[in-house]
Structure 1
Amino acid sequence: MVIVAACIAANLPFVNQRLLAAGPALASHKSLWLRLLELVVLYFVVGTFALLLEQRAGQIAPQGWEFYAITGTLFVTLAFPGFVYRYLVRHRGA
């Protein structure tokens, strides 16, 4: 469930023009920097969701910097299809 949520959240900044998919729609295109900032925010949102699930299941396991480095890298890897769609695929009429 967490991996599916991470996959959806990682691609969300690249497939819409709204801020965090719920905010106001931007008239012009969002910049790459804004999309990357959204990616970081959504990483922490999914991490909080995973932490809540783990807390409900029992004791929370301690994590070091390695855990966050791996999950951050996985989140960026999951965002690759959205990045390819937004920046590398040629869209008609654009």
Structure 2
Amino acid sequence: MPTETHGGPDSTTPAAVYVVTLRFRPGGGVVTGEWAKPKTAFDAFRDWVGLYGSGPNVFIQMVKDTAGNREALKTWPQDWQTSEAIGAPAT
């Protein structure tokens, strides 16, 4: 995982990676993009919702990944069950 240095050579904090994922059907394959800047990831999320969001089973999610700790920031559709989130095991 990349790190950013803050304050000196011995001071490191894990850098966040913003991951946008697209799934066309439950349990199906996943298209993934990763960005260092949240605005770039949000722009991709927004574009993917515009391009693919009208599909009946489409799921799009933007997460912030810091050293393996994932925090969901945006999800499409908004009422998608969190247990179905990208990264969770397919059932």
TM-score over 0.5 for the alignment? no
Q: TM-score, normalised by structure 2?
A: 0.29
Task: Give the strand-richer structure, 1 or 2.
Answer: 2
Task: Give the helix-richer structure, 1 or 2.
Answer: 1
Q: TM-score, normalised by structure 1?
A: 0.29
